[in-house]
Amino acid sequence: MGCFTFVKLMMVFFNLLILLGGLTLLAMGIWVTVDGGSFLRILGHFSSEAMQFVNVGFFCIAVGVILVLLGLLGCCAAHKESKCLLLMFFSIILIIFIAEVAAGVVALAYSSFAEGILKAWATPALKEQYGSDPVVTKLWNTTMTELHCCGFTNYTDLMDSSYSELHGGDLPPSCCRRNSSTCRPEQALRHPVEGCFEQLLEILKKNANIIGGIAAGIGLAEVTTMVVSMYLYCQLDNRMIR
């Protein structure tokens, strides 16, 4: 077996793994969307932390579809020995890798800047959609209940929101420390509850080593895939010359 054939098989193998990973995430996302309750019961304690902060079902479906398409593109590029498909595959992986590195740098070096960007996006959506959009409302209710937090930064994010207007100026019960069916802004002011962003940061800090290891593994896999695809791309010229 020549070196080119071996690398070609490795390319197919890597992309089959990407394809299988994408199908797994896709199936998991559909499961969470259809029957989220049983999924969260299986996750146990972990489900009450970071997994509740995002819409796990839609997130898994979106990432799964992207991985499936990438896996198919990589397999087709290697099988057909197409320079165009190989270059397209390399470019997509490179863009994803650069975006991940940029996001990591911003998060680490400019955490306050990153918080400002997230707040500028999350706060208006929270005010406009929480209480009126059933999906967003359910997501934030679960998040605030499980993480014992209120709003993105604090209770003021929910003042003048759709929820507040529909409930006569009341805030969600999670915004008051005392368990009650109603929560007035003055009660939330006397006993403020921490925002969900701060709670998420605490969870990320506690699991920093695990998150760092996963990020390093993903980065290494992406770099390896780019090297393999570029090697095949360059070797195709030599094969054509022969």
Task: Indicate the SS3 state at residue 171.
Answer: strand
**Ranges 7-21, 26-40, 48-62: which has the least confidence:** 48-62
CB atoms within 10 A of CB 232: 23
Q: Is residue 57 predicted with pLDDT exceeding 70?
A: no
CA distances from 115 to 19, 54, 146, 207 (A): 34, 16, 21, 19
Q: CB–CB of 199/147 below 8 Å?
A: yes
* Residue 51 CB partners (closer than 8 Å, separation 6+): 40, 43
Task: Indicate the SS3 state at residue 151.
Answer: coil
pLDDT attached to residue 112: 62
Q: Return the higher-pLDDT residue of 216 and 37.
A: 216
Task: Indicate the SS3 state at residue 149.
Answer: coil
- pLDDT (tens digit per residue) in 195-204: 888 777 777 7
pLDDT attached to residue 10: 81
Q: Is residue 242 predicted with pLDDT exceeding 70?
A: no
- pLDDT (tens digit per residue) in 26-54: 887 777 667 655 545 544 444 444 444 44
pLDDT attached to residue 17: 82
Sign of CA dihedral 189, 151, 142, 129: positive
**Ranges 4-8, 85-89, 155-159: which has the least confidence:** 4-8
Q: Is residue 20 predicted with pLDDT exceeding 70?
A: yes
**Ranges 38-52, 69-83, 108-122, 128-142: which has the least confidence:** 38-52
pLDDT attached to residue 108: 67
* Residue 35 CB partners (closer than 8 Å, separation 6+): none
Q: Return the higher-pLDDT residue of 158 and 120.
A: 158
| C-alpha span between 232 and 116 (Å, rounded) | 43
Q: Is residue 95 predicted with pLDDT exceeding 80?
A: yes
0.85 surpassed by pTM: no
Task: Indicate the SS3 state at residue 209.
Answer: helix
In terms of residues, how long is the chain? Answer: 242
Highest mean pLDDT among 17-26, 86-95, 201-210: 86-95
pLDDT attached to residue 179: 60
Q: What angle do CA 129, 116, 133 make, to 5 degrees?
A: 5
| C-alpha span between 129 and 194 (Å, rounded) | 21
Percent of the chain with pLDDT over 90: 0
pLDDT mean over 108-121: 67
| C-alpha span between 225 and 205 (Å, rounded) | 30
Q: CB–CB of 197/153 below 8 Å?
A: yes
Percent of the chain with pLDDT over 70: 78
Q: Is residue 151 predicted with pLDDT exceeding 70?
A: yes
pLDDT mean over 53-62: 66
Backbone phi and psi for residue 34, each to the nearest 5 degrees, phi listed first: -80, -40
DSSP state of 181: S
